[in-house]
Structure 1
Amino acid sequence: MSEKESTNFLYPFIDAEERDAAVLLTDLASSARGKAAESARLQRASLDEWGEQVTAAGTLMAERFGQGGRLYTFGNGGSSTDAATLASLFSRPALGRPVAAWSLAADQAVVTALGNDVGFELIFSRQIIAHARSVDIAIALSTSGNSDDLMTALAEARKRGLLTIGFAGHDGGRMATSEDLDFCFTIRSQSIHRIQESHALVGYRLWSAVQDHMARPTPHPATSRTGESR
């Protein structure tokens, strides 16, 4: 890939061979402001569209965590790092209650062994088979919503009774129409960068909803005047 090809899709004005440093800096600043504004707009729109469902999903997740459930996250490429970040937010939060959460893409030995031995499309579903229980939760992240390995894992998770959640982009792809998902949060954008930025915010709001529900006082059984449970 040439230098021109590597930067043109991000900063086309650089490839125009602008010689005036002041003009170039102005263009760079304008580009950054435009991307930040679009990202903020998309994040607001995504929360407006999915806020109630995020809260509902968070409530169901909290109930499963209360029963000893565990969270498994997974994705490909950049979405695999987003999955790892999301799992870390749940398992090692700066504030709030930690819960059991793992990224299925994090162990490169397991991922590469499964990819080599049984096929890349099974790298996550085989881990679901090995570790997951019906009380657990599976979250798949994809900018397209069409990845075969994610869809195979979600189908396996559904079969085993897990709560299944998808983070998708564009029109949601196969995730948006699959019966294997309980929730699918689709970010309405064609930009992979903006989709992943909104995925991060929606993931944080999901974690926050779980924490809010878990922080509520646990109701105690009603007692009679003698102090005995009814």
Structure 2
Amino acid sequence: MQETIKSLINESVEAKKALLSDQYLKTIEKISNTIIEAYGNGKKTLIAGNGGSASDALHFAAELVVRFEKNRAALPSIALSENISTITAAGNDFGYEQSFSRQVEAFAQKGDVFVAISTSGNSPNVLKAIEAAKKIGVTVIGFTNSDGGKMKDICDIIFRAPSKTTARAQECHILAIHIICKILEAQLFKD
């Protein structure tokens, strides 16, 4: 059992070490600058994902609205996975594929940022939400696995975690999200 534990920890460490490459550093910087610019223009972020990625969307939005490490003004952010009544109504009336796109249509404005999280890059409801966001003029940032799925061709900026394994990709996503939150607080709330 301990060998399995060590092996999984090593897989996680190796995936995270890959994030030190210029490609990933530049992508995280670009994502951070895009969100900083949106907030600087009085815009907001919308974030969506399914399953574990839904939890990551909630986590990211909470860090922005409440705080990451610094007590500061709230940043407007909506996790589209948080309103179960809206998700189930959209699923019932229009099909589950519309569960996020209906919310994007309702809340997104030109200049906002939509963060789409799908480890496969192929979640139908996330793809539909991306389409809706693009029609409005929203910048789309995608978080996927190393393959990128369909999202790699339709996002404005894509973070493709350096692993095809869902758990390793999600671990890289949350690390990148924490780094982005740290940068946002440092840049938007200078003491």
TM-score (normalizing by structure 1)? 0.77
Residue identity matched to 2:138 = L
Shift of 1:170: 3.5
Instruction: State the distance in 2 between where 1:94 and 1:54 align.
Output: 17
Match of 2:2?
Answer: 29
Q: Which has the larger radius of gyration?
A: 1
| Residues 47, 202 of structure 1: 8 Å contact kept | no
Instruction: State the distance in 2 between where 1:66 and 1:177 align.
Output: 27
Counterpart of 2:36 in 1: which secondary structure? helix
Among residues 80, 98, 104, which one is paired with 1:104 in the alignment? 80
Q: Which runs of 4+ in 1 moved over 6 A?
A: none
Match status 1:145 vs 2:121: yes
Structure with greater contact order relative to length (CA < 8 Å, sep ≥ 6): 2
Among residues 139, 155, 159, which one is paired with 2:131 in the alignment? 155
Shift of 1:47: 4.1
Q: Give the share of equivalent positions with the same residue, in percent.
A: 30
Shift of 1:87: 1.0
Residue identity matched to 1:91 = V
Shift of 1:201: 0.5
Taking a change above 3 Å as real, the CA distance of residues 74 and 47 of structure 1, as seen in their structure-2 partners, is farther
| Residues 69, 182 of structure 2: 8 Å contact kept | no
Match of 1:123?
Answer: 99
Match of 2:13?
Answer: 40
Match of 2:179?
Answer: 205
Shift of 1:36: 1.1
Shift of 1:213: 2.3
Instruction: State the distance in 1 between where 2:184 and 2:134 align.
Output: 21
Match of 2:24?
Answer: 50
| Residues 68, 185 of structure 2: 8 Å contact kept | no
Residue identity matched to 1:37 = N
Counterpart of 2:147 in 1: which secondary structure? coil
Unaligned runs of 5+ in 2: none
Instruction: State the distance in 2 between where 1:216 and 1:163 align.
Output: 25
1:131-175 Cα shifts (integer Å, max 9, x gaps): 111121100111100111111111111121112100001311111
1:27-51 Cα shifts (integer Å, max 9, x gaps): x222212211210110121342311
Match of 2:165?
Answer: 191
**RMSD over equivalenced CA pairs, Å:** 1.5
| Residues 59, 213 of structure 1: 8 Å contact kept | no
Residue identity matched to 1:123 = S
Instruction: State the distance in 2 between where 1:177 and 1:197 align.
Output: 23
Among residues 41, 45, 48, which one is paired with 1:67 in the alignment? 41
Instruction: State the distance in 1 between where 2:137 and 2:153 align.
Output: 19
Match of 2:67?
Answer: 93
| Residues 75, 150 of structure 1: 8 Å contact kept | yes
Residue identity matched to 2:4 = S
Instruction: State the distance in 1 between where 2:145 and 2:94 align.
Output: 28
